Amino acid sequence: MRTVIVDYGSGNLHSAAKAFERMAGPSDRISVTDDIVEIAAADRIVLPGVGAYADCRAGLMKVEGLYETLQDAVIDKGRPFLGICVGMQLMATLGEEHGETPGFDWIQGRVTAIRPNDPALKVPHMGWNDLTRVADHPVFDGIGPGAYCYYVHSYHLKTDRPDQCLAQVDYGEALTAAVGRDNMVGTQFHPEKSQAAGLRLISNFLSWKP
């Protein structure tokens, strides 16, 4: 089974690749690439992302054919997909960071600024925080209710449909921590930096058969 981590100039690709390689089974092959032929042939696709929403989308669109390849592989062919951090946010209808920027519209909702109701809470939301599951999903199998994960973000995805929110995190308000539907999931936290919980999620994703 071939898992591709998409390289479009955004994301901590080294640490992500190391985490996936660590959890890969004997038949799993992990690669990091921007080659749309390799991405189209992959059995699973991972889209990382770090930085501003608009910048990440612009970087992705600069890779000729990448957006169309993702649409075909994920939407038309139903390949398992994992978006991480801004890679998850790009799944939304649009982002509001630095003006309104359209997303993939795979998950209906907007990526909007974090506005905690406690002035002592600083933005960006950075560091370890809880993970509260609000829906069952195979990628969370074996991850207990006391799990903590690593977050770095100033914006979060507000879903229009509650059934597409899989988990939340409390930071002065309930922020979306994970989304999903059909063959796709996304995490606002970084599983590659989230130790046991993150590695378990990666392992579950590599064996997930939606």
Residue 56 catalytic? no
Q: Which of 56, 85, 149, 165 is catalytic?
A: 85
Residue 68 burial class via C-beta count within 10 angstroms: exposed 0-12, middle 13-18, buried 19 and up: exposed
Q: Which of 97, 149, 156, 192 is catalytic?
A: 192
Q: Which of 125, 137, 156, 190 is catalytic?
A: 190
| Integer Cα distance of 130 and 179 in angstroms | 16
| Integer Cα distance of 42 and 65 in angstroms | 15
| Integer Cα distance of 136 and 193 in angstroms | 22
Residue 85 catalytic? yes
Handedness of CA 110, 113, 119, 125 (dihedral sign): positive
| Integer Cα distance of 49 and 90 in angstroms | 9
Q: What is the DSSP string of 30-71?
A: EEEE--HHHHHH-SEEEE---S-HHHHHHHHHHSTTHHHHHI
Residue 190 catalytic? yes
Residues involved in catalysis: 85, 190, 192
